[in-house]
A = this chain, B = another copy of it.
Amino acid sequence: MEYIQIMNTTTLTALAEPNRLRIVELLREKPYSVGEIASRLKLRQPQVSKHLRVLSEAGLVEVRPAAQQRIYQLQAAPFEELDNWLNSFKALWESRYGALDEVLEELKKKRRKEAP
């Protein structure tokens, strides 16, 4: 029985938007409030809130209130998942991954067999 690592697209979709990616990369440094994110990335506050909502629903960040501010912080889980998923591709660059050659060999054999 083989185990196949499967990834869900919500994490990837959340990260695929340029400004959202910038937010994530900023938060990697440390948690920030909405206003700080907006000013540092030169984005308008409403857009930042909207992006943070997407990130939040994807589980990539979490909020904590501090007075009337909201401090957003990265969450480990989705990144861990993504990392695990990537591990199932490690063979691509860590070993030789010569499967293509095998396929080509197979094709040659098949054609020799069908039309000798």
Contacts and interface: CB of A to CB of B under 8 A. Distances in A.
Given A7-B21, A79-B92, A100 B15 contact: no
A interface, how many residues as a size bin? 35 or more
Contacts of A97: 74, 76
A18 B25 contact: no
A88 B27 CA distance: 12
- Copies of this chain, complex-wide, total 2
Contacts of A50: none
Given A12-B12, A16-B9, A21-B9, A92 B76 contact: yes
A25 B12 contact: no
B74 A89 contact: yes
A41 interface: no
Interface of A: 4-7, 9, 12-13, 15-18, 21, 25, 28, 30-31, 64, 66-67, 69, 71, 73-77, 79-80, 82-83, 86, 88-90, 92-93, 97, 99-100, 102-104, 107, 111
9 contacts: A7-B21, A12-B16, A16-B16, A28-B88, A30-B99, A31-B100, A64-B100, A66-B103, A75-B92
